């Protein structure tokens, strides 16, 4: 078997066998198949596509390219949630403590932000001392004893995915749905997930801007789940405007803590409750979504979810005073609230522009090695469809530099679009696939 023959076969639009896919991924992982051949193969996949069976075989080959976690003896069922990334998406910080407080253990390996989409680990590191580099043994023990873990992904899990993604990023092959789906699912499977809730973001502030393409991606990942013996549900959610109000690491942690205390923006709270309810159902903790919703609401209202988050922070070395007193979280030296210059209805708030502006302030990375300023960011004060009076607060900028603040103000004003006529609010969710 030769790599070039596999490339040609896919170039011609033929279906690859499981053994061919495993041969290619194994050889690439071990360095026997060079980058230029892997790049050619990825382009062939982009142009020719893959069947559900091929995509599942690719997923499993990448999942087993390194170490895998077996959690069957640790928890009754290993449940995970994955978001494809968005602006202001801090749902993990609320959803997983809620689910854990309902008695369903959650062990999550998360990532860092790159580009306009923030990373969960960066947000959690706003809390001094919080460890995001737990060992495999620490992960398992904390999941067993605390029922909740939130840490970084081990480099030993699905190494083929990391190698392949680095090539895709520089060869124009990132948009391939089979490659996106296998990348996401291989990491979840390698981390031991048996049931998965996927939050597939759709819109200007998401990787998938087109709803139909989002549906295809969601269906592909649900199919991978079915063919690999995993229960997968995909939520298609809106990302044309930021989720919640806060964009930026410490700001988002503060907003998540507010939600855990029963306050904060309604869209964020509702999004978290929907995602948590689906996790409780796939995790067989609730028989249906109505029961699951009631359980999730009770966990929030009783304070059990907040206590679950507190225990998580304590278990991973974080300073719990920052949970009890959120005002301790990092605060930027320059804070300016910008008022609306006109009255009208908000027609749009470009989520991508908000996210990229946050990066320019220092809240995110343009490159992997860029430092993060946990204190800076943006708070928006209105949602699409709101009626706004002239002079009302429109957004607040948290900055560390006057020039960056001025540039952010100009950019954010342009990101808000207006109408003189009433505007329908954007939906939180478009569809649910699987379940």
Residues marked as catalytic: 82, 161, 168, 183, 187
Helix (H, G, I), strand (E, B) or coil at 60: helix
Q: How far is CA 100 from the centre of its chain?
A: 18
| Rounded Cα gap, residues 68 and 158, in angstroms | 8
Sheet of 393-399, strand order: 246-247, 377-380, 393-399, 334-339
DSSP for 25-49 reads: HHHHHTTSS-HHHHHHHHHHHHHH-
How far does Cα 281 stand from its chain's mean position?
20
Give the number of other Cβ atoms within 10 Å of residue 45's Cβ. 24
Contact call for residues 99 and 280 (beta carbons, < 8 A):
yes
Distance CA 280, CA 286 (A): 6
If we measure between CA atoms, which residue out of 12, 85, 28, 95 comes closest to residue 237?
A: 85
What token pair was written down for 382?
Answer: 């209105």
Cα-to-chain-centroid distance, residue 73: 27
What is the DSSP annotation of 375-421? Answer: T-EEEE---TT-EE-TTSEEEEEEES-HHHHHHHHHHHHHHEEEESS
> Distance (Å, rounded) from C-alpha 139 to C-alpha 137?
5
CA atoms within 13 A on the CB side of 220: 28
Residue 142, classed as helix, strand or coil, is helix
């Amino acid at each position: 078997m030769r790599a070039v023959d596999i490339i040609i076969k896919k170039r011609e639009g033929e279906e690859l066998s499981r053994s061919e896919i495993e041969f290619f991924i194994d050889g690439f992982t071990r360095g026997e198949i060079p980058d230029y051949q892997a790049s050619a193969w990825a382009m062939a996949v982009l142009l020719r596509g893959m069947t559900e069976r091929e995509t599942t075989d690719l997923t499993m080959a990448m999942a087993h390219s390194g170490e895998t976690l077996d959690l069957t003896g640790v928890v009754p069922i290993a449940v995970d949630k994955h978001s494809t990334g968005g602006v202001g998406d801090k749902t993990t910080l609320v959803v997983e403590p809620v689910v854990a407080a309902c008695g369903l253990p959650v062990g999550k390996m998360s990532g860092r932000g790159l580009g306009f989409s923030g990373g969960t680990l960066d947000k959690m590191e706003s809390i001094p001392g919080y460890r995001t580099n737990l060992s495999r043994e620490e992960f398992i023990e904390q999941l067993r004893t605390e029922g909740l873990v939130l840490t970084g992904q081990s480099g030993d899990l699905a190494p083929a995915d990391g190698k392949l993604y680095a090539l895709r990023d520089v060869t124009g092959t990132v948009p391939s749905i089979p490659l996106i789906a296998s990348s996401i699912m291989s990491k979840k499977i390698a981390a031991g997930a048996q049931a998965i809730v996927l939050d597939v973001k759709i819109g200007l502030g998401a990787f998938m801007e087109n709803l139909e393409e989002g549906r295809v991606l969601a269906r592909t990942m649900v199919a991978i789940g079915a063919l690999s013996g995993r229960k997968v549900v995909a939520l298609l959610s809106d990302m044309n405007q930021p989720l919640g109000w806060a964009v930026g690491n410490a700001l988002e942690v503060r907003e998540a803590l507010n939600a855990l205390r029963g306050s904060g923006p309604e869209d964020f709270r509702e999004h978290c409750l929907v995602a948590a309810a689906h996790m409780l159902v796939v995790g067989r903790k609730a028989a249906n979504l109505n029961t699951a919703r009631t359980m999730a609401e009770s966990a929030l209202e009783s304070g059990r979810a907040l206590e679950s988050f507190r225990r998580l922070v304590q278990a991973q070395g974080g300073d719990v005073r920052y949970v009890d007193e959120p005002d301790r979280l990092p605060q930027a030296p320059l804070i300016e609230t910008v008022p609306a210059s006109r009255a009208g209805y908000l027609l749009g708030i470009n989520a991508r522009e908000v996210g990229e502006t946050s990066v320019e302030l220092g809240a995110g990375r343009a490159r992997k090695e860029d430092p993060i300023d946990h204190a800076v960011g943006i708070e928006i004060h209105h949602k699409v469809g709101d009626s706004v009076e002239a002079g009302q607060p429109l957004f607040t900028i948290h900055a560390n530099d006057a020039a960056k603040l001025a540039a952010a103000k100009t950019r954010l004003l342009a990101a808000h679009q207006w109408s003189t006529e009433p505007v329908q609010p954007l939906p939180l969710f478009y569809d649910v696939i699987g379940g």
